[in-house]
């Protein structure tokens, strides 16, 4: 490639976003219709996920194996959060906290797991502080670890969107080891979640006795 | 070109260095009608301050906590109920996941001018801003108290409902009316002023190449813009002043760090800039950080060995510099457990950077059973040099916080068979392993806060090519990659901010978009978020290969 074409190429690459503005032009002038607000939607589906054999760091500082952490008989609720996230994550964490509280004695049968999608920033201390902010009780664990581990897990759950700012509102429930996962997209309220949990607990009960 | 089913947005594929993967960008505009000027109440200063407390801190004028109700996500109270959590400091909102948090600035809520307003977010799946009527005081009250938008539709369940009394509502409204209403200083009709800062005592070659790179990029950018405006007939004209010439202003400091803040304030008073990008200092950056905070001026990603310990809102850094290296070494010792050294001897000079580094390491090692001994380089006489290396045992570790010149002098004076493991700061040798005397290759490990090997080469290829194109030397690859990253970031930031040139918004967009797209930096991963100020958070411990290159001895360690 000669000098001249290189120059053009880099010019195009470096400042294409400026050039873009003129390309947008036509779109900008178009009349826009009034929009109607859609009610918040939630989508429930069931899926099986193959979880990676990775190590994570729990908020108490312990290095743990994900598969072992997820192996016990308790029902499992998983979400993905990061502590610097001020809009959506607090809402998801609030629902976990409230659900755990409202479950009363049944809370002991449920393992809440919040996994950091900003693991290089979220260490055991920041996660513990975060848990305290939401009055999380034992049975709600927060996990961090290497960036690659967190990404591997997000990929396994098909929630990886390339960047933490793109994180989706998504929640996973597994009634017991070996079962399929319930995947919720969108905002799930505490009452809705408790109903779902109690249904699973009821169906779990006969086999576990 | 336009998709027929979509009447108000168009999708384009963008190729950009930092968005090497093509991305869909959609833009939408709201065209606002003139609002009756008399309906905009003359706001009083006390109201604005009371409004600020509600917006930023979640404290009502009574002193009680702000409480927000939400049907699904539940009640929020106090700081976490504050508007700033979602609508951000600038009021420009953001996009989290697929939830759009709209702007609530004076211009966006209550238009007082017949001027189109647009918002652009490369990640928006749909238009982030939709046209709607202006808010009256009543409509604003209804939106905040009842969660009903100006068009009568209910809001997303994320936005809380606040039972504010009339006084608080008036205060909040006064605050919103003036929020991000005027473009920031340094933004003129046809120019955008950007400064960079050069501290005294830096390598003249580095300074020169940095300014050459910046000037080349600024010229390139301004030239490309001329091309556009020359043939511009498109409705982008509807957004005035979006195509501003970038003007580079160089602030060169003199004297000792305690005088820098005053010098900078004077520069900025005479000729205010919109933001400071990049910058170079071998010494502490703390006074500059303070200046940026004072002036509420974004100071984006300088090349410094020693950033402020607790940065202000307006300063963003690549990493914690030598303080990060100290914390990483401490973590490494912790991981080594019973193989960790019994004693650590730190050798350094009595300058700001090395002293802070040594102090950070002492601090970080608290709680580990390691004795610490500091040895300070004095006159480099024979007796001085002998003293530095006296009495070292195999169970010791030696930490060298030294620049390349000192390293060479010391390596010559050191005993041939040096007993302990030696560690050295990569930052203090500009990340260039050839600055380590060969004599020490077998023994020495570098605390290395940059990417290594093929990955690094791939990531910095764009820089290499760009430098070739502009016939600029690659004297200091890591430093120059930092400058290059800044130039690309500024391009992306300003083009996405459109005409919304508010300093706070610049910081917010940087927080949100630093980690997008392809990595063109010398760091493995750069990422910020609201409140985060150090973009790279770890380091390798690296060893020399036979051929003088480096290999990681540990995984990427994040303290």
Q: Where are the domains of chain B?
A: 31-178, 191-319+476-508, 322-448+541-552
Per-residue confidence (pLDDT) for residue B124, from 0 to 100: 58
DSSP-derived secondary structure for A170-208: EEEEESSTTSPEEEEESPPPHHHHHHHHHHHHHHHHHHH
Distance from CA of B408 to the nearest CA of A (A): 35
- Its sign, for the CA torsion B374, B377, B378, B383, is positive
Is B230 touching A (CB cutoff 8 A)?
no
Per-residue confidence (pLDDT) for residue A32, from 0 to 100: 29
Return the exposure string of B271-280: e unless at least 16 CB atoms fall within 10 Å of the residue's CB, then b. Answer: ebbbbbbbbb
Distance from CA of A208 to the nearest CA of B (A): 33
Per-residue confidence (pLDDT) for residue A52, from 0 to 100: 96
- Its sign, for the CA torsion A65, A71, A72, A75, is positive
Per-residue confidence (pLDDT) for residue B114, from 0 to 100: 53
Is A19 touching B (CB cutoff 8 A)?
yes
* pTM (2 d.p.): 0.88
Per-residue confidence (pLDDT) for residue A24, from 0 to 100: 29
Is B512 touching A (CB cutoff 8 A)?
yes
Interface test with B, best of A7, A8, A24 (most B CBs within 10 A): A24
Distance CA A144, CA A66 (A): 11
Distance from CA of A56 to the nearest CA of B (A): 13
Tell me yes or no: is domain B191-319+476-508 CATH 3.40.50.720: no
Please list, in sequence order, all residues whose beta carbon lies within 8 angstroms of the beta carbon of residue B489, skipping any fewer than 6 positions away. Answer: B18, B277, B300, B301, B510, B514
Distance CA B490, CA B496 (A): 10
The answer to whether domain B31-178 and domain B322-448+541-552 are alike in fold is no
**Structural domain B31-178, CATH architecture:** Orthogonal Bundle (1.10)
A67-86 pLDDT, tens digit each: 999 999 999 999 999 999 98
Is A1 touching B (CB cutoff 8 A)?
no
Please list, in sequence order, all residues whose beta carbon lies within 8 angstroms of the beta carbon of residue B4, skipping any fewer than 6 positions away. Answer: none
Contact B7 A31 (CB under 8 A): yes
Nearest of B239, B228, B246, B230 to residue B187 by alpha carbon: B246
Interface test with B, best of A6, A7, A8, A28 (most B CBs within 10 A): A28
**Helix H segments across B53-136?**
84-87, 106-109
Distance from CA of A146 to the nearest CA of B (A): 8
Q: Is residue A173 a contact partner of residue A49, using CB atoms and an 8 Å limit?
A: no
DSSP A96: H
When the pLDDT of each residue in chain A is averaged and rounded to a whole number, the result is 81
Residues 73-112 of B with CB under 8 A from A: 73-74, 76, 80, 85-86, 94-99, 101
Contact A34 B151 (CB under 8 A): yes
Per-residue confidence (pLDDT) for residue A22, from 0 to 100: 26
Distance CA B289, CA B100 (A): 32
Distance from CA of B79 to the nearest CA of A (A): 10
Per-residue confidence (pLDDT) for residue A40, from 0 to 100: 57
Element (DSSP H or E) covering residue A28: helix A3-28
DSSP A39: P
B324: how many CB neighbours lie within 10 A of its CB?
A: 25
Interface test with B, best of A82, A120, A149 (most B CBs within 10 A): A120
In this complex, which of A27, A33, A82 lies closest to B27 when CB atoms are compared?
A27
Distance CA B224, CA A18 (A): 8
Distance CA A79, CA A171 (A): 5
B421 compared with A122, residue with greater pLDDT: A122
Give the homologous superfamily in CATH for domain B322-448+541-552. Answer: Response regulator (3.40.50.2300)
Strand partners, B444: B422
Per-residue confidence (pLDDT) for residue A38, from 0 to 100: 40
Q: What is the mean pLDDT of residues A28-51?
A: 61
Interface test with A, best of B154, B217, B233, B234 (most A CBs within 10 A): B234
Per-residue confidence (pLDDT) for residue A165, from 0 to 100: 76
Sorting pLDDT into bands at 50, 70 and 90, what band is A31? very low
ipTM: 0.83
Q: To the nearest whole percent, how much of chain A has pLDDT over 90? A: 63
pLDDT over threshold 70, residue A4: no
B275-277 and B299-300 beta bridge pairing: parallel
Q: What is the mean pLDDT of each run of 10 residues along chain B (559 residues)?
A: 30 28 31 36 81 97 94 81 95 85 90 62 55 87 95 90 96 96 91 97 96 96 68 44 84 97 98 98 96 98 97 97 98 95 96 97 96 94 90 94 94 84 96 93 95 94 95 96 96 86 96 84 94 97 95 96
Contact A26 B10 (CB under 8 A): yes
Residue in chain A nearest B97 by alpha carbon: A166
Contact B221 A15 (CB under 8 A): yes
Is B146 touching A (CB cutoff 8 A)?
no
- Rounded to a whole number of angstroms, the CA Rg of chain A reads 22
Distance CA B444, CA B391 (A): 18
């Amino acid at each position: 490639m000669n000098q001249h074409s290189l120059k053009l190429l880099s010019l195009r690459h470096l400042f294409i976003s400026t050039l873009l503005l003129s390309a947008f032009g036509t779109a900008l002038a178009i009349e826009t219709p009034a929009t109607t607000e859609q009610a918040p939607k939630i989508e429930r589906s069931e899926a099986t996920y193959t979880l990676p054999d990775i190590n994570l760091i729990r908020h108490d500082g312990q290095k743990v194996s994900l598969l072992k952490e997820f192996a016990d008989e308790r029902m499992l609720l998983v979400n993905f959060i990061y502590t610097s996230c001020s809009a959506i994550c607090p809402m998801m964490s609030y629902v976990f906290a409230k659900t755990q509280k409202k479950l009363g004695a049944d809370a002991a049968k449920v393992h809440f797991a919040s996994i950091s999608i900003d693991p290089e920033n979220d260490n055991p201390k920041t996660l513990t502080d975060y848990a305290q902010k939401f009055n999380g009780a034992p049975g709600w664990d927060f996990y961090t670890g290497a960036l690659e581990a967190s990404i591997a897990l997000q990929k396994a759950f098909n929630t990886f969107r390339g960047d933490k700012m793109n994180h989706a509102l998504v929640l996973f429930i597994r009634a017991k080891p070996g079962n399929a996962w319930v995947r919720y997209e969108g905002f799930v309220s505490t009452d809705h979640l408790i109903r779902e949990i109690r249904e699973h607990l009821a169906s779990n009960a006969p086999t576990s006795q | 070109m336009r998709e027929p089913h979509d009447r108000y947005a168009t999708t384009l594929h963008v190729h950009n260095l930092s968005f090497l993967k093509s991305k869909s960008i959609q833009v939408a505009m709201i065209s606002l009608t003139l609002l009756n000027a008399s309906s905009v109440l003359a706001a009083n200063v006390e109201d604005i301050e009371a409004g600020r407390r509600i917006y930023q801190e979640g404290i009502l004028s009574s002193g009680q906590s702000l409480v927000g109700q939400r049907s699904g996500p539940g009640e929020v109270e106090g700081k976490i109920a504050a508007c700033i959590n979602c609508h951000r400091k600038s009021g420009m909102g953001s996009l989290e996941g697929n939830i759009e948090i709209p702007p609530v600035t004076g211009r966006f809520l209550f238009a007082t001018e017949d001027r189109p307003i647009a918002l652009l977010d490369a990640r928006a799946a749909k238009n982030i801003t939709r046209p709607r009527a202006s808010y009256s005081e009543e409509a604003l009250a209804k939106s905040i108290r009842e969660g009903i938008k100006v068009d009568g539709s209910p809001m997303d369940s994320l936005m809380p409902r606040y039972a504010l009394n009339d006084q608080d509502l008036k205060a909040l409204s006064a605050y919103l009316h003036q929020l991000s209403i005027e473009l920031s200083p340094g933004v003129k009709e046809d120019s955008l002023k950007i400064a960079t800062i050069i501290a005294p005592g830096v390598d003249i070659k580095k300074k020169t190449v940095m300014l050459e790179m910046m000037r080349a990029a600024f010229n390139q950018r301004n030239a490309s813009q001329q091309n556009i405006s020359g043939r511009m007939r498109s409705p982008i004209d509807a957004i005035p002043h979006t195509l501003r010439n970038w003007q580079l202003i160089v602030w060169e400091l003199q004297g000792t760090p305690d005088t820098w803040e005053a010098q900078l304030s004077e520069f900025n008073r005479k000729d205010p800039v919109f933001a400071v990008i990049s910058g170079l200092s071998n010494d502490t950056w703390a006074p500059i950080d303070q200046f940026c905070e004072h002036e509420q001026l974004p100071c984006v990603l300088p090349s410094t060995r020693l950033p402020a310990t607790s940065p202000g809102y307006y300063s963003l850094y690549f990493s914690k510099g030598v303080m990060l290296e100290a914390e990483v070494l401490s973590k490494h010792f912790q991981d080594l457990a019973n193989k960790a050294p019994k004693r650590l001897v730190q050798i350094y000079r009595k300058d700001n950077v090395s002293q802070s580094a040594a102090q950070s390491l002492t601090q970080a090692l608290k709680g580990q059973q390691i004795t610490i001994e500091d040895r300070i380089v004095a006159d480099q006489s024979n007796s001085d040099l002998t003293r530095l290396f006296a009495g070292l045992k195999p169970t010791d570790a030696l930490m060298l916080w030294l620049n390349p010149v000192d390293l060479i002098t010391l390596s010559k004076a050191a005993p041939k068979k040096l007993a302990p493991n030696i560690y050295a700061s990569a930052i203090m040798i500009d990340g260039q392993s050839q600055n380590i005397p060969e004599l020490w290759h077998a023994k020495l490990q570098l605390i290395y806060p940059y990417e290594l090997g093929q990955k690094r080469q791939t990531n910095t290829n764009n820089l290499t090519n760009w430098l070739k194109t502009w016939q600029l030397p690659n004297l200091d690859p890591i430093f120059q990659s930092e400058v290059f990253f800044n130039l690309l970031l500024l391009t992306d930031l300003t083009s996405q901010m459109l005409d919304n040139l508010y300093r706070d918004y610049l910081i917010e967009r940087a927080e949100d978009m630093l980690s997008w797209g392809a990595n063109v930096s010398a760091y493995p991963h750069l990422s910020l978020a609201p409140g985060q100020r150090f973009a790279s958070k770890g380091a390798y411990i690296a060893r020399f290969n036979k051929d003088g290159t480096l290999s990681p001895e540990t995984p990427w360690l994040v303290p």
